[in-house]
Structure 1
Amino acid sequence: MPAHDHLLELMPVAEAAKRCGHDVAVAVSGRFAATVEALGLEHITAGPDWIGDFIDSIDRNVPPEEMDDFTQDFMAEMFCGDPATAMGHDVAEAIENWNPDLVLRDTGELGGYLAAERAGLPHVTVGVVDFNGMMLGSGVVAALDRRRRQFGLPPDPDGRRQYAYGHINMLAPDFVPEELELPNVFTVRVDGVRRGDVLPAWVGELVDDKRPLVYASFGTAASTIPSYGPPLTKVITGMGDVDANVIVSTGKSLDWHGKEIVGGIQVPENVRVAEWVPQGLLMRSIDMLITHGGPATSRQAIVNGVPVVVIPLLFDAFKIADRFEQHGMGVQLDWTSLTPGDVATAATTVLNDPTYQRAARRLQARTLTVQPIDDAAVKFLERIHAENAR
């Protein structure tokens, strides 16, 4: 999909496949060509840039109690809508010209699925989004079947053709055990550290023996939605009353509102605001995370045993926040009524109560029993290819 965070979540598998000697090309809209090529991979221009239009269409705040219905409607309209058809035609052309053996795709990117099905190619999903069973919801399945008809494909009344060949699950099995019920699932762990990642020198200066180090981020996508700026400003303000050194990433995406987020507030002396830091690497040094509950950030917190304060904003983040609370490794706040005082109280509670840290370490240990994504995922893809070779 034409979203920075989704693209980067696919890259560990793509890069590992190339290291193992396979030819890899990445089909994504043209504005990501430089990002793909900087990783040493071939870029194929495919699909429209629909994410920006979606963001512009969110002209109201979606309250938490409406989020499940909003998410299913969004997936049916956007994942299975006209962008999927356009992407499907572009990927079909790429299949004809590039002649791949297998199509690997983000779970929510269905154009590649439609093109692969029509070409008779095996296709594998990577669980970039969490709670991938949502893709089997009735609204999504009905909308996807309409697209299947456009591509001359037979009906798929239960939607399970999406996972017909394989699904790479990046969620900790103990965190979301229902992911293991998806067809043909293969589970890996991801820590989000990219080859060559280095922390900026100023991060080391914030680690001392007097105060814990806290990291706060609402991800790369939330900063593109101006209405989500206020919760982050309340995090910045509230953490000024916490005895901790704090790093806040405003998120630097292609359509960035980070400067607007922090432009009108006084940043406390103990808070360092940055556009971006290598988050997966930073997770190894922090004592607590404040997050919107994004999938990638949550996976990194789990694999590093970091307790959390979760302020869910969109989609599956509310389910993720509930799981963090159920596992005892964090607390959840409501962004619609959030105050700086709420942030300070929650952060102080999690930092001062060792049971949150112990719970995080317990889930971390269970997660570290799962094989890392890298070459394990490639071997999984190789097996699928061997079983379905043309």
Structure 2
Amino acid sequence: MSRFLFVVLPLAGHINAPLAVGEALLDAGHEVAWCGPESYLRPLVGPHATVYPTGSRFYPEQDRYGPEALRHVWDSYLVPLAQFTLPAVERAVTGFQPDVLVADQHAFAGALVAHRNGVRWATLVPSALELTRSPGDAPDVEAFVRAHLARLREKAGLPTGDDVDVLFSPYLVIALTTAALTGSAALPDTCVLVGPALGRGPAYQDFPWDWFDPDRQHVLITVGTLADSVAREFFATAVRALDGLGDRLQAVLVAPADAVPQPPDHILIASRVPMLRMMPHLHAVVSHGGMGTVGEALANGVPLVIAPIRYDQPTVADQVSRAGAGVRVPFVGLTAEQLRAAVTAVLDDPAYRAGARRVGDSFAAAGGAAAAATHLEQLALKGTVSR
């Protein structure tokens, strides 16, 4: 059996997939360890799992959009986090001696330490941010990213001229999507498409399942966990959009309890939901376009309305639209009338659900967490890196 070390980011959209892949490896009899903030990981991996703590850095809230949002998250979070966690990842590699290190694509310290120590490593790609972004799309952003990566290589003590691409492992890149969404986009030579890696997800036993009326359609509205600073107006727009539709649908809006004062009876405000368990009961999802939510919805054949905010979300929205699995609407300036029209379109036109099912079928065929685990097992069999 082999030893796998996962270096992860403490963000909801980045943790569910590695948890599912790690569980598949454990089920196959391998050893799995984790490197990240212990306060975040321990409730997720359990009391007996091996965790190499990195300490924590807070994710900065922001109200930026487009390339400026990308620059901000690199400057204020991703690069400082990589520098901060380099020593901890080094201790994890020394202590655990993994056969393969599995690094979130934006947990740069994992790739840097693996490369420096001659450990085979795999890139786990939970988003479309780098995977389908071509240098020609935004050359200034590409230059900005590459300059940061060069400085990180220097910070990690790599020799001058060592230009290893920490975004894409030369051994294995596992992307949690399929060609049904990426289309003809050029991908790295080492890239495999396995579709979403879905685990069980948190149960959240306090969710009021008896609130669902089986005679009405059900809609989930969520903009993820990192958009609180810009989401309040969107929440109000969503409630206005669905007001008056209580005879045909119920909606669950994932938002703070005080986000929508006195919502109508057919709209439930919940600060957290058992999303994976809920998906089979849904008829549509309104989302910001995070790959985690999109993957979970499409895996269940649920069409989407996507209001992308930033990062890879516009790309994901366009992919879903091209696949015929949903509708893209604007986030900034979205009106209640626009959102109502989009929601009723995906509910009433069976073509959208058919499109979602086609993508979901491609996910099932790709294999998800089990396929990712198999690729990692094969990489582990190749042994250490020759230097």
TM-score of the superposed pair, with normalisation by structure 2: 0.86
User: Is 1:112–2:110 an aligned residue pair?
Assistant: yes
In terms of mean alpha carbon deviation, does 72-81 or 331-340 score higher? 72-81
Q: For structure 1, which runs of at least 5 residues remain unmatched after alignment?
A: 251-257
Shift of 1:207: 4.0
Shift of 1:356: 1.6
User: Is 1:368–2:373 an aligned residue pair?
Assistant: no
What is aligned with 1:383? Answer: 378
- Does structure 1 conserve the Cα–Cα contact (< 8 Å) formed by 2:123 and 2:169? yes
Show CA shifts across 1:40-89 (max 9, x none). Answer: 522211154141xx22xx2xx334xxx1x225424642565232122122
Shift of 1:316: 0.6
Shift of 1:286: 0.8
State the distance in 2 between where 1:135 and 1:16 align: 32
State the distance in 1 between where 2:185 and 2:217 align: 34
- Does structure 2 conserve the Cα–Cα contact (< 8 Å) formed by 1:287 and 1:351? yes
What is aligned with 2:39? Answer: 31
- Does structure 1 conserve the Cα–Cα contact (< 8 Å) formed by 2:198 and 2:368? no
State the distance in 2 between where 1:358 and 1:90 align: 47
What is aligned with 1:175? Answer: 181
Shift of 1:353: 1.9
In terms of mean alpha carbon deviation, does 87-96 or 70-79 score higher? 70-79
- Does structure 2 conserve the Cα–Cα contact (< 8 Å) formed by 1:135 and 1:141? no
Shift of 1:312: 1.1
What is aligned with 1:351? Answer: 347
Q: For structure 2, which runs of at least 5 residues remain unmatched after alignment?
A: 1-8, 136-141
Percent identical: 22
- Judged with a 3 Å threshold, the aligned counterparts in structure 2 of structure 1 residues 142 and 112 are, in CA distance, closer, same or farther, namely same
Match of 2:145 among 113, 125, 140: 140
State the distance in 2 between where 1:39 and 1:290 align: 35
3-state SS in 2 of match to 1:162: coil
Shift of 1:269: 1.2
Show CA shifts across 1:158-203 (max 9, x none). Answer: 8377321111111122101356722311221336341785876733
What is aligned with 2:251? Answer: 246
What is aligned with 2:230? Answer: 227
Match of 1:90 among 88, 100, 124: 88
3-state SS in 2 of match to 1:44: strand
What is aligned with 1:284? Answer: 280
State the distance in 2 between where 1:161 and 1:290 align: 30
Instruction: Give runs of ≥4 in structure 1 deviating > 6 Å.
Output: 198-201
- Does structure 2 conserve the Cα–Cα contact (< 8 Å) formed by 1:165 and 1:384? yes
Match of 1:77 among 46, 60, 75: 75
Between structures 1 and 2, the one with greater helix share: 1
- Does structure 1 conserve the Cα–Cα contact (< 8 Å) formed by 2:10 and 2:37? yes
Cα-Cα RMSD = 2.6
Give the 5 Å matches for 1:263-302.
265-302=261-298
User: Is 1:125–2:128 an aligned residue pair?
Assistant: no
Show CA shifts across 1:307-359 (max 9, x none). Answer: 11111112111111112222222222212112333222221222122222222
- Judged with a 3 Å threshold, the aligned counterparts in structure 2 of structure 1 residues 181 and 296 are, in CA distance, closer, same or farther, namely same
State the distance in 2 between where 1:122 and 1:135 align: 26
3-state SS in 2 of match to 1:261: coil
- Judged with a 3 Å threshold, the aligned counterparts in structure 2 of structure 1 residues 363 and 37 are, in CA distance, closer, same or farther, namely closer
- Judged with a 3 Å threshold, the aligned counterparts in structure 2 of structure 1 residues 361 and 330 are, in CA distance, closer, same or farther, namely same
User: Is 1:308–2:296 an aligned residue pair?
Assistant: no
- Does structure 1 conserve the Cα–Cα contact (< 8 Å) formed by 2:222 and 2:254? yes
Shift of 1:118: 1.0
Specify the code of the residue in structure 1 equivalent to 2:324: G
Shift of 1:370: 1.4
- Judged with a 3 Å threshold, the aligned counterparts in structure 2 of structure 1 residues 388 and 80 are, in CA distance, closer, same or farther, namely farther
For CA contacts below 8 A with separation 6 or more, give which structure has more relative contact order: 2
What is aligned with 1:320? Answer: 316
TM-score of the superposed pair, with normalisation by structure 1: 0.85
Give the 5 Å matches for 1:26-65.
26-38=34-46, 40-51=48-59, 54-55=60-61, 58=62, 61-63=63-65
- Does structure 2 conserve the Cα–Cα contact (< 8 Å) formed by 1:165 and 1:184? yes
State the distance in 1 between where 2:166 and 2:89 align: 21
3-state SS in 1 of match to 2:285: strand
State the distance in 1 between where 2:352 and 2:13 align: 28
